[in-house]
Amino acid sequence: MGAAGPQGPAGPPGAVLYLDGGAVLTQVLDVRPQLIGYTTFTSNGALGGRTSANARCGTEFPGTHLCNTTEFLNARSGLPLSAMAAWLDNSSGTIDPSPSSPCNNFSVGSGTQYSAVFALPTGFWSSNTTGTPNCGSVLPLACCTSPAPVRLRGYTAFTSTGALGGRTAANGRCSTEFPGAHVCNTTEFLLARSTLPLGAVAAWLDNSSGTTDPSPSSPCNNFSVGSGTQYSAVFALPTGFWSSNTTGTPNCGSTLPLACCD
């Protein structure tokens, strides 16, 4: 038998599927959100916040998070839903989570005071403040995977008021404890879909420009003010939500860790 001829360049990776027909694992095809399943766990809208909702999905389907409305549609799933509906998160019109979550950030489990957002067995989604389902309905969660451009690495052991010495110094604090990381901005914090618990009342965030880009302005006058309510403070909350504040607490005088992303 003669010697084999020279080989050409390798082609693109083929589609590798789980034996049960689940998520595609290739870089080529894993660019669309995948609806992995619906939880056996059920609850009313008081899911304990966005972080807890993501963790419920991750417990039953490792690596998943609560689907938002755009992800649910983009998944083009054929998975049947046997319940009347399933919980979804809000989106910002893309696969990004919205700054607001249903049922008052999944803290309300009764009545029709807040809008509920849910997947329907038809493959459509809807929101409701009247009728059923609503925040008092007991439903499973719809769980998705999506390309993850951002990761929440953790919260620093270091704590400080808002006088962090500027954006560069704040990023350096994150990189010291989590090499290669920087202070998460508000959009990155949501995109990370983290299930990491936050043991403090809040954690410092940077502002965003509506994408993962940092905003031209930083909280607490570019992290130079460490007292009072003269400047807006921007921070992550244990619920997985974020907020800004010029009155009340936390504020620029609060002593908090930093939320760090890469």
The predicted pLDDT at position 7 comes to: 43
Model-level pTM greater than 0.85? Answer: no
Cα angle value 90/217/161 (rounded, 5°)? 90
Mean pLDDT of 150-179: 97
Q: Which pairs from 210-217 meet CB under 8 Å and 24+ separation?
A: 211/187, 212/149, 212/150, 212/185, 212/187, 212/188, 213/185, 214/167, 214/185, 215/185
Compute and round to an integer the Cα radius of gyration of the chain.
21
Residues 246/232, Cβ–Cβ less than 8 Å: yes
- Pairwise CA distance, residues 236 & 176, whole Å: 20
The predicted pLDDT at position 228 comes to: 85
Q: Going by CATH, does the domain composed of 34-145 fall within 3.90.550?
A: no
Q: Could you give phi then psi for residue 216, rounded to 5 degrees?
A: -60, -20
Encode pLDDT of 191-203 as tens digits: 999 899 999 999 9
